[in-house]
């Protein structure tokens, strides 16, 4: 990923928090996105949006990152 631009930013939008990702989400960068989401949840935000409009590439680590919260929630729904 040398020379590639990557950033994760967060901003509130009414009652939800937007996690904006720029660049590639892969094995090296997915932990940074996961950390931003975990910090948001720990801070009390219950509505999160991961804005991927500026993501140029996403490997399986990124897909897993997006599916993991859904899988946890779905397992609690009966």
- Residue whose token pair is 């990923």: 1
Query: In whole numbers, what is the pLDDT of the chain averaged over residues?
Result: 86
Q: pLDDT, tens digit, for every residue of 62-76?
A: 999 888 766 555 455
Q: Are strands 16-25 and 7-13 parallel, antiparallel or unpaired?
A: antiparallel
Q: For residue 27, what pLDDT band results from cuts at 50, 70 and 90? A: very high
Residue 44, phi-psi category: left (phi > 0), alpha (psi -120 to 50), beta (remainder): left
Phi, psi for residue 2 in degrees, rounded to 5: -55, 130
Q: What is the pLDDT of residue 16?
A: 93
Q: Does the predicted TM-score (pTM) go above 0.85? A: no
Q: How far apart are CA 50 and CA 52, in angstroms?
A: 6
What pLDDT score was predicted for residue 67? 86
Does the pLDDT value for residue 77 go beyond 50?
Answer: no
CA dist 22 and 19 (Å) reads 10
Domains of the chain, earliest start first: 7-76 (3.30.750.24)
């Amino acid at each position: 990923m040398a020379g590639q631009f990557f950033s994760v930013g967060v901003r509130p939008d009414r009652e939800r928090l937007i996690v904006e990702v720029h660049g590639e989400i892969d094995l090296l960068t997915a932990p940074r996105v996961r950390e931003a989401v975990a910090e948001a949840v720990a801070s009390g935000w219950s509505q999160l949006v991961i804005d991927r409009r500026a993501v140029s590439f996403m490997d399986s680590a990124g897909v897993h990152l997006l599916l993991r919260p859904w899988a946890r929630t779905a397992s609690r729904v009966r």
